[in-house]
Amino acid sequence: MQARPRQLIEMLDLKPHPEGGFYRELYRAPQTVQFAGTARSALTTIYYLLMAGDRSQWHRVGSDEVWHFYEGDALELKIASSDAVHLETYRLSTLTAESQPVRVVPAGHWQMAHPLGDYALVGCTVGPGFEFADFTLIRDLPASETAVRARLIAHDAR
């Protein structure tokens, strides 16, 4: 592991994330909203670190998620529609002609990311707030959704 990512893990007290990389929840709003019939924190935000060779696995959450770039190398973020038919690829980094530092993933869309260099430190803000109950990894899709799974795997090859 390179020195800077190791330093970030220690300084920010990051822990392994189930989808890959390292994270720490920074904020969970005390205010709640009604979401899918339950009270939910209005907003949550995390630090998220991916290093060379890491990637966040294809996953979806039940709320809108805003990715914001903090430091390191550019991050490639892929977003697929809920049926995995449409795919868009974005580069998160400092503001350039090819990159922007912020991108929104709409609720229910599939997403995956990986750094394009040694590491990328980003933040992810979710509203209504993130709950693991709304988090689905591609590997957890039921057999009835094999077409979606196959399309997401095919998107990995792009």
pTM (2 d.p.): 0.91
Looking at domain 3-156, which of 2.60.120.10, 3.60.70.12, 3.10.580.10, 3.40.630.30 is its CATH number? 2.60.120.10
pLDDT tens digits, residue range 79-96? 999 988 899 999 999 999
Domain ranges of the chain: 3-156
CB 137 within 8 A of CB 110: no
pLDDT band for position 1 (50/70/90)? low
Give residue 158's pLDDT: 58
pLDDT at 14 over 90: yes
Pull the structure tokens for residue 52: 């060379």
CB within 8 Å of 152: residues ≥ 6 apart: 58, 80, 84, 110, 138
Angle at 118 between CA 135 and CA 90, to 5 degrees: 55
pLDDT tens digits, residue range 96-131? 999 999 999 999 999 999 999 999 999 999 999 999
CB within 8 Å of 89: residues ≥ 6 apart: 76, 77, 78, 79, 158
